[in-house]
Structure 1
Amino acid sequence: MASLVELKPTAENSKFSQDIQTEKKLRKVPTLCSTRYGIAFIIHFCNFTLKAQSVILNITMVTMVNSNRSQMNGSAKRLPVDLLDGLNDTVKSFPMRVSEYDWSPQIQGILFASVNYGMILTLAPSGYLAGRVGTKRVFGVSLFVSSLLTLFTPLAADLGLIFLITTRIVQGISQGSAFGGQFALWEKWGPPCERSRLCTIALSGMPLGISIAILLGGVISQALGWPFAFYIFGSLGCVCCILWFVLVYDDPASHPWISVTEKEYIRSSMTQQVSFSKPCLPVKAILRSLPFWSMCLCGFSHQWFVNTLVAYTPTYISSVFNVNIRENGFLSALPFLAAWVVGVLGGQLTDFLLTKNFRLVTVRKLATVLGTFPPSAFLVGLPYLTSSYITSIALLTIACGLCPFCQSGIYINALDIAPRHASFLMGASRGFAQAAAILSPTVCGFILTQDLEYGWKNVFLLAFAINLAGLIFYLIFGKADVQDWAKERKLTRL
């Protein structure tokens, strides 16, 4: 007679102690020079490219919009010193003839958000699809489509606003498939005691892509004209596609160059973590799960804050300090360079704390607090310190730099509460959070259009309130142990 018997649950601390002991027994297994870390760095580079393609419009917008339009902030100030070889005069002509558009702040907000209209549709389905057919196909095709649409963007802008918005929406659909689908890879490649490091290495490519796109976007726009910023990053994406299809495989068993030692290490470390069968998705249980909803709501509030920074940092610096696009690119890139560094180091810190017998749930919540509350508080004080550009840029850099701590918190929490369904849950939670990426630029654009004098104060205060509400909900309901509905059941014979 057959009956269903639930696997005996493993205590949270005991589980990670076993993982750490497994790691100690296999000290000869390479780390940074290993195949799994090589894949993490490849995803890092691909995420860098995808995010750069997504946000390049945010810096080129400064030159795409008619320069004769009045600034959004009537009290704009010039920087007191030159930052880049004394080139402090606004560029009045470009080496090539480029188009300019008469777009209001509200229209600009819609353009910033449009890439997220499509992204929200595919984040959750792509995570599930990647778990079924493989991350290699889902991510690779998505990267290729996004790169082609980036190359097409200047032409779409010339064809009209509707064409540009449509292009950005379709690009968002492809990018959502890439961002949501990549998490399925770590179900099979990421040992539990290394997941924070591997995931944060991969995800930290996003803030690096933002910083480099904004930095080089300003330089390229001044030297060659804004369309070349799209041509360069679109071409880079096509190169990344070749790298991806040649070097990345869905699991260690199918990888042709992985060492036997590393393959055995990954397999043995995840023996009790992941079932390699294709389990049924407990949709009703997921929808009733407060730990899952705490991830979604905290992710939403954090994405509101992050997307406010991503979309409006160049515009804020331009309106307050009245700098040219090259200096704007330099100043706007600094906060995201800081975020890249913290993103890489944050995963190292998280895994280090786990080796010191910190509870997993404590580490996840601590990382989330560091990535949400201090950045929001710094941003609220920003509009009151515009008299000092050094202080303003420092606050922006600190606020943005601390945000990636959440990569070791809410954004990989699904691997803790439901390893067997992690790819779907990560995609679903990020898909829910992506609604903030749509609403934030649109709402902020409306606020800035309606209230020129207090617009920035209202934008930053709203981001603080939303971020704080999501954090409180996660601190109350967030968990880091495998939920009952996510535990594996096996058929035994009595």
Structure 2
Amino acid sequence: MVLKDSNEHIPNVTQSASQSPPVSPSVAINNLQKEAARLQGTICGVPRRVVLVVLSCLGLSISYADRSNIAIAIIPMSKEFGWDPAIEGAIFSCFFYGYMATQILGGYVADRFGGKYVFAAGALGWSVFTLITPFAARWHFAALIVCRVFLGIAEGVSYPAINSLLGKWLPIGERSRATAAVNSFSYAGAIMALLISAPMAASSTIGWPWVFYIFGGVGIVWMLPWLLLIRSHPAVALPPDSTVPGKHQLEMNTVPPDPALNGSPTKEQQHDANEPPLKRRPVPWKRILRNKYTWAILVNQYCNCWGFFVLLQWLPTYYRQEFGVDLADLGLISIVPYCVQFTVGLAVGFVADWMVYRLKVPLVWIRKGSQTIALLGAAFFMLMAGFVAKNITQGVIFITLALGLNSLSNVGLSVAHFDINPEYAGVIFGLGNTAATLTGIVGVQVTGLILKWTGSWALVFLAAAFHYVIGVIVWLAFAHPDRKLVLTP
């Protein structure tokens, strides 16, 4: 591992501002943050923030695989243990009780003490509880429920910790694409889980327990590069999004740079980059909760994730019950929507950054337009899947279009917490993901009850479409990314 640090002076923003033609505040702030990011150093020639994004993507892929693999495994498990749809719904939803419990806590701890070890602790926990899932299931139904709850507790810190890290390391002009990449790779985890789990679950020689053994082991292996390469805090802190160009210089997290090193971080500073900054402000809970944009995020996280979590757990069952798909083929068929969601979700991040910083499209148009298309498009094609689809081809097409369009929320809802204030991105994301997790508890369980009482998938998709429409109304009324929560020192 090779660490390189720049030998160039940290620029004087006051001088550069007077010599350069006037630019918009957002562009000036982005340029200032990019200069700070350039000084953060590299690992084997790769910028540290890029390594952070890559390992975050891989980690969240494994996290999603560990929560998604039971969507396939539940089919042979139900046959072995005699479970009905209501019991399956309880098994699916109990994960979200634990997941909800650590959202805000995970964001708070990551913002205050650093996201590196918070995410690593979560990875260790979710890997262990994935590994012991088969033993718990065969011991007692209650043991499986407890195991799934603790799996949720461990995974609950993941997204808040990652978003806390991205807020500290990435310039504003790179956040849309990085957030889109992180979210898209979570879909890749679902793809991996469905693709690998189906043939193993259908095999008489391997069997469903190996679905959990393999994915649990992969998480343990991933932890090694994460612990070795990632830092919680950059050596050069990014100027805040509210920086006034011409008034601030780039600042180190701890002590000023040594003039003898021409502005390069000292060894002490490189060490301190692994530690929290010395000066910390308390989380402004009242100001965050009084912000209408915060509540638009909370409501939309709940509404947006209703359909997503229902499909994440129940999609293979939908294909099998409605169209009679064989268990061995479920993996290949089930990954099609997530492949499209991954591709579209990854692309829209780059397109959004390009539109904002090259075409000068107002950020509010990007946030509101993308989220509106994501929710209304998903609502329409969910209804088509429930009321129109007559064969497996139509079912796959409609679900694929629903999830593909819904991935536009990667540059709407999913990045909105940075708009309020990136310093508290972990906390704000934790609040939003807590609301989202409620749908995992309510929506997934309600789906099981609907199927037990009526057997109607049309009602399942109608409920999802209803939530999407409510989300659009609230988003258009209260989402204002141009009104930041500015905190004065």
Instruction: Pick the TM interval, shorter chain.
Output: 0.7 to 0.9
- Aligned mates of 1:350, 1:15 — CA distance in 2: 18
With over 3 angstroms needed to count, the CA separation of the structure-2 counterparts of 1:214 and 1:322, relative to structure 1, is same
Ranges of 4+ aligned residues in structure 1 off by more than 3 Å: 19-33, 266-271, 273-277
Does the CA contact (< 8 Å) of 1:335 and 1:396 recur in 2?
yes
Tell me, yes or no, if structure 1 residue 238 matches structure 2 residue 241. Answer: no
Query: Letter of the aligned partner of 1:400 in structure 2?
Result: L
With over 3 angstroms needed to count, the CA separation of the structure-2 counterparts of 1:489 and 1:384, relative to structure 1, is closer
Tell me, yes or no, if structure 1 residue 212 matches structure 2 residue 192. Answer: yes
Does the CA contact (< 8 Å) of 1:279 and 1:420 recur in 2?
no
Compute the displacement of 1:160 (Å): 1.3
Aligned Cα RMSD in Å? 2.4
Does the CA contact (< 8 Å) of 2:323 and 2:391 recur in 1?
no
Q: Deviations over 1:195-238 (max 9, x none)?
A: 11112212222111011101111022123110001000000010
Corresponding residue for residue 71 of structure 2: 58
- Aligned mates of 1:51, 1:165 — CA distance in 2: 18
Compute the displacement of 1:158 (Å): 0.3
Corresponding residue for residue 182 of structure 2: 202
- Aligned mates of 1:425, 1:367 — CA distance in 2: 20
Does the CA contact (< 8 Å) of 1:156 and 1:163 recur in 2?
yes
Tell me, yes or no, if structure 1 residue 166 matches structure 2 residue 166. Answer: no
Corresponding residue for residue 134 of structure 2: 154
Compute the displacement of 1:242 (Å): 1.1
Compute the displacement of 1:178 (Å): 1.6
| Residues 253-272 of structure 1 aligned to structure 2 (within 5 Å) | 253=235, 267=238, 272=243
Corresponding residue for residue 298 of structure 2: 296
Match for residue 141 of structure 1 among 118, 121, 135: 121
Q: Deviations over 1:420-447 (max 9, x none)?
A: 3221111111112211111111011111
Q: After alignment, is 309-318 or 33-42 more displaced?
A: 33-42
Query: Letter of the aligned partner of 1:470 in structure 2?
Result: G
Does the CA contact (< 8 Å) of 1:300 and 1:436 recur in 2?
yes
Corresponding residue for residue 437 of structure 1: 440
Corresponding residue for residue 387 of structure 2: 384
Does the CA contact (< 8 Å) of 1:361 and 1:480 recur in 2?
yes
Corresponding residue for residue 18 of structure 1: 28
Corresponding residue for residue 20 of structure 2: none
Does the CA contact (< 8 Å) of 1:123 and 1:181 recur in 2?
no
Uncovered stretches (5+) of structure 1, i.e. residues with no partner? 1-12, 67-99, 254-262
With over 3 angstroms needed to count, the CA separation of the structure-2 counterparts of 1:128 and 1:20, relative to structure 1, is closer
**Highest relative contact order (Cα 8 Å, sep 6+), 1 or 2?**
1
Corresponding residue for residue 488 of structure 1: 487
Compute the displacement of 1:188 (Å): 1.4
SS at match of 1:457: helix
Compute the displacement of 1:338 (Å): 1.2
Corresponding residue for residue 427 of structure 1: 430
Q: Percent identity?
A: 27
Corresponding residue for residue 34 of structure 1: 47
Corresponding residue for residue 414 of structure 2: 411
TM-score of the superposition, structure 2-length normalised? 0.83
Does the CA contact (< 8 Å) of 2:300 and 2:475 recur in 1?
yes
- Aligned mates of 2:344, 2:141 — CA distance in 1: 37
Corresponding residue for residue 341 of structure 1: 343
Q: Deviations over 1:147-171 (max 9, x none)?
A: 0000000000001111001100011
Tell me, yes or no, if structure 1 residue 252 matches structure 2 residue 223. Answer: no
Corresponding residue for residue 121 of structure 1: 101
Compute the displacement of 1:19 (Å): 4.0
Corresponding residue for residue 472 of structure 1: 473
Does the CA contact (< 8 Å) of 2:37 and 2:238 recur in 1?
no
Does the CA contact (< 8 Å) of 2:59 and 2:222 recur in 1?
yes
Q: After alignment, is 387-396 or 131-140 more displaced?
A: 387-396
- Aligned mates of 1:60, 1:194 — CA distance in 2: 38
With over 3 angstroms needed to count, the CA separation of the structure-2 counterparts of 1:35 and 1:60, relative to structure 1, is same
With over 3 angstroms needed to count, the CA separation of the structure-2 counterparts of 1:228 and 1:417, relative to structure 1, is same
Query: Letter of the aligned partner of 2:83 in structure 1?
Result: W
- Aligned mates of 2:138, 2:330 — CA distance in 1: 24
Compute the displacement of 1:368 (Å): 1.1
Uncovered stretches (5+) of structure 2, i.e. residues with no partner? 1-22, 245-250, 254-276
Corresponding residue for residue 364 of structure 2: 361
- Aligned mates of 1:200, 1:423 — CA distance in 2: 16
- Aligned mates of 2:99, 2:303 — CA distance in 1: 17
TM-score of the superposition, structure 1-length normalised? 0.82
Compute the displacement of 1:16 (Å): 2.0
- Aligned mates of 2:31, 2:429 — CA distance in 1: 28
- Aligned mates of 1:425, 1:383 — CA distance in 2: 34
- Aligned mates of 1:106, 1:48 — CA distance in 2: 28
Does the CA contact (< 8 Å) of 1:60 and 1:217 recur in 2?
yes
With over 3 angstroms needed to count, the CA separation of the structure-2 counterparts of 1:189 and 1:24, relative to structure 1, is closer
| Residues 40-51 of structure 1 aligned to structure 2 (within 5 Å) | 40-51=53-64
Does the CA contact (< 8 Å) of 2:36 and 2:238 recur in 1?
no
- Aligned mates of 1:357, 1:107 — CA distance in 2: 52
Q: Deviations over 1:443-492 (max 9, x none)?
A: 1111111102xx11111011101111012101110011344xx32223xx
Match for residue 373 of structure 1 among 376, 383, 408: 376
- Aligned mates of 1:388, 1:154 — CA distance in 2: 34
Compute the displacement of 1:112 (Å): 0.9
Corresponding residue for residue 310 of structure 1: 312
Query: Letter of the aligned partner of 2:75 in structure 1?
Result: V
Aligned residues: 430
